[in-house]
Amino acid sequence: MKQLKWNTVVVIVFLGTASLVMMTPFVIMVTTSLKTAAEINSPTLQIFPHKAMFSNYLKAMSTGNWGRWFFNSIFVTVVVTGVSLLLNSMAGYAFARLDFRWRTPLFFSMMVGLMIPPQITMIPSFLIMKHIPLAGGNDLFGLGGTGWIDTYPGLMVNHLAGAFGVFLSRQYYLSFPRALDEAAEIDGCSKWRTYFQVYLPLSKPLLAALGVIKLTGTWNDYVWPLIITNSEKMRTVQLALTVFKDGVIQWELLMAATTVVTLPLIIIFLFTQRYFIHGLITSGVKG
Amino acid sequence: MHHKKHRYRHSLDGYLMILPSYLIYFIFVFIPIIITIYLGFTNYDSYKTLDWVGLRNYFRLFQDPVFLISARNTVVYSICVIVPQIVIGLVMAVFLNQEMAGRGFFRVSFYIPNVTSMVAISMVWLWIYDPTVGFLNQVLKLVGITRQKWLFDLDLAMPSIIIMSIWKLIGYNMIIYLAGLQQIPRELYEAATVDGASSVTQFFKITIPLLRPTTFFLFVIACVQSFSVFEQVNVMTQGGPMNATTTIVHQIYERAFTNFQMGYASAMAVFLLVVTITLTMLNFRYGSQASESEIG
């Protein structure tokens, strides 16, 4: 018994140290955001500020159009998450339950997308957005204008569905009992009604898991907004942060802005951990 | 023999239901792959010029000193990031797999870096690595080590990015390993304990072999991800100093969106695509053989 307790103490001390190391950057981020410039430039190490300068946050948020940038990020994240949940789960349901000729080849052709890093397709995706017909001054053939570059559709449309979401939804629905479909069919439900009124209400764990993953991915995305936007007013918060650091860096303000950008997700994560981890695991176990 | 034709019962509904997501996938993933391959054979400059140049981009690729540096950097980054993130993730998961006080807290603190955006994390680490008053230099000063220039130092820039990336990626590996560990029956460990096997022996003889599918999955994911590393490089160093941290995707981005050499950049993307697919296939081949021999 004593042996066991001793082991547990060692493990807890080890994990405690490790989690301290893991958390240190976040602690530094917050403490730096509350320091004065003088404290930051002082040659001796002091982790905590003498007096917490909450005014740094106001100052950081008033340098630049943060209201607009937050609106952009929230709007894009909400729309992309909501629409992708519907489209992906609907396709997943069809691939899992409906019987149509090209089902298998279509499904496998879509799964190719799981292996392609988005960085490989960023150039053509940009070009396609630029040449969307009749958008942004383009003619019928997609020439002459800027298409969806620097617009909300440009920021969102290519993220509204994806191989990963479809795959996960299909796997989820495959585990549903066939009797469910038979019952719905006997009741005279069309396939659409079966999806909306039987399957969708039973999909909360799936939607929660997919939702938090999509939400984080969209909020945190940097590469696509970097490529597709060019005006100041279309920036997302991640992009705004990188612009913030150009020129002479005022660390206390940059850390304050970084904290504000990071905090919403950390809070969401703390409350939705369960779904988060569930989503990651289902994607991981099934490969 | 009675010839019976299979009738597909829900053709229309089926196609309609997959249509929106398939269309988006088709336009923004499938077609782009084909366009990338095509553009790789052209000198497209995103304005007017669009001539077929055959393999010229590919010849140029293997003589372009900056691209060769970026390929080398990418390989160095991948090797140095993949192994530690998997090994540390596994060790953390094994420790966290037992009931103890503070387990939830530990799990969250290891995982939070993974939830945070790469941009935000890059900002924090820029501050940690700051050459004048950064946190790391101030801590090192306490133990008498002289100031380093970290991201501005030719030899330290890449290691700095690697350490920060490992820190971010550990949590993901840990979570997946934790899930894998839950699938191992407890009786195996109990039986081993009865037989007098130490916990270290159990770790090497039971845990590692039975986690092989998880390790394989994580390895494949890690290969694909680290070969397309870009964000932290672009935010923290823009590939500098003197190309010491430039990577393949960073070169693709620079060529395509700064120099507008979209044809040449597409050839780089094709190169990366081929490398990624080859790695994945090698992984599958080697990985499946390994797990078969283990079970059989």
Top mean-pLDDT range of A70-79, A188-197, A248-257, B106-115: A70-79
Tens-digit pLDDT profile for residues A103-127: 999 999 998 888 888 889 999 999 9
> What is the pLDDT at residue A282?
67
> What is the pLDDT at residue B274?
94
Asked if residue B252 is part of any domain, the answer here is yes
Mutate: best of B21, B31, B99, partner A, most A CBs <10 A: B21
The percent of residues above 70 in pLDDT, for chain A, comes to 97
Tens-digit pLDDT profile for residues A154-165: 999 999 998 989
- The fold for domain A64-286 equals MetI-like fold (1.10.3720)
> What is the pLDDT at residue B292?
46
Confidence check: pLDDT of B205 > 50: yes
Confidence check: pLDDT of A195 > 80: yes
Mutate: best of B127, B133, B224, B273, partner A, most A CBs <10 A: B127
First to last CA, chain B: 42
pTM: 0.90
Rounded-to-integer distance, Cα A212 and Cα B70, Å? 34
> What is the pLDDT at residue A5?
72
Q: How close is the nearest chain B Cα to the Cα of A141, in Å?
A: 15
Confidence check: pLDDT of A166 > 50: yes
The percent of residues above 90 in pLDDT, for chain A, comes to 54
Burial of B147 (0-12, 13-18, 19+ CB in 10 A): middle
Asked if residue B69 is part of any domain, the answer here is yes
Span B157-181, average pLDDT: 93
Asked if residue B45 is part of any domain, the answer here is no
Residues in chain A with CB shorter than 8 Å from the CB of B213 are: 287
Tens-digit pLDDT profile for residues A30-77: 999 999 888 888 877 788 888 888 999 999 898 889 999 999 999 999
Asked if residue B52 is part of any domain, the answer here is no
Confidence check: pLDDT of B294 > 60: no
> What is the pLDDT at residue B295?
36
Domain count, chain B: 1
Q: How close is the nearest chain A Cα to the Cα of B1, in Å?
A: 24
> What is the pLDDT at residue A43?
76
Q: How close is the nearest chain B Cα to the Cα of A172, in Å?
A: 16
Mean per-residue pLDDT over chain B, rounded: 89
Asked if residue B149 is part of any domain, the answer here is yes
> What is the pLDDT at residue A41?
83
Burial of A95 (0-12, 13-18, 19+ CB in 10 A): buried
**Tokens at B124, concatenated:** 């924090």
Instruction: Give the CATH number, domain containing residue B166.
Output: 1.10.3720.10
ipTM here: 0.89
Size of interface A-B (CB pairs under 8 A): 282
Asked if residues B124 and B116 have their Cβ atoms less than 8 Å apart, the reply is no
Span B230-254, average pLDDT: 94
Residues in chain B with CB shorter than 8 Å from the CB of A120 are: 33, 36, 228, 269, 272-273, 276
Q: Would you place residue A259 in the very low, low, confident or very high pLDDT band (cuts 50, 70, 90)?
A: very high
Using CA coordinates, name the residue in chain A closest to B18: A91
Range of lowest pLDDT (A1-15, A16-30, B141-155): A1-15
Asked if residues B202 and B189 have their Cβ atoms less than 8 Å apart, the reply is yes
Q: What are the DSSP calls for B195-224, one per residue?
A: TT--HHHHIIIIIHHHTHHHHHHHHHHHHH
Which residue did the predictor score with more confidence, B272 or A137? B272
> What is the pLDDT at residue B170?
94
- CA-to-CA separations, B25 to A54, A109, A158, B20, B21, in angstroms, rounded: 45, 10, 8, 9, 6
Asked if residue B283 is part of any domain, the answer here is yes
**Tokens at B46, concatenated:** 């995103």
Confidence check: pLDDT of A233 > 60: yes
What's phi and psi for B49, nearest 5 deg? -65, 125
Confidence check: pLDDT of B290 > 70: no
Q: Which of B27, B95, B121 sits opposite A128 (nearest CB)?
A: B27
Asked if residue B279 is part of any domain, the answer here is yes
Confidence check: pLDDT of A235 > 60: yes
Asked if residues B251 and B187 have their Cβ atoms less than 8 Å apart, the reply is no
Using CA coordinates, name the residue in chain A closest to B127: A251
Domain span holding position B88: 61-295
Using CA coordinates, name the residue in chain B closest to A260: B120
Span B169-174, average pLDDT: 93
Tens-digit pLDDT profile for residues A206-224: 898 899 889 999 999 999 9
- CA-to-CA separations, A116 to A216, B21, B30, in angstroms, rounded: 20, 17, 10
Mutate: best of A7, A90, A100, A223, partner B, most B CBs <10 A: A100
Q: How close is the nearest chain B Cα to the Cα of A105, in Å?
A: 12
Asked if residues A238 and B119 have their Cβ atoms less than 8 Å apart, the reply is yes
The percent of residues above 90 in pLDDT, for chain B, comes to 60
Q: Could you tell me if residue B161 is left (phi over 0), alpha (psi between -120 and 50 degrees) or otherwise beta?
A: alpha
Nearest to B135 by CA among A131, A189, A40, A195: A40
> What is the pLDDT at residue B240?
81
Q: Which of B21, B102, B128 sits opposite A88 (nearest CB)?
A: B21
Tokens 């950008």 belong to A261
**Tokens at B64, concatenated:** 């372009």
**Tokens at B48, concatenated:** 């007017």
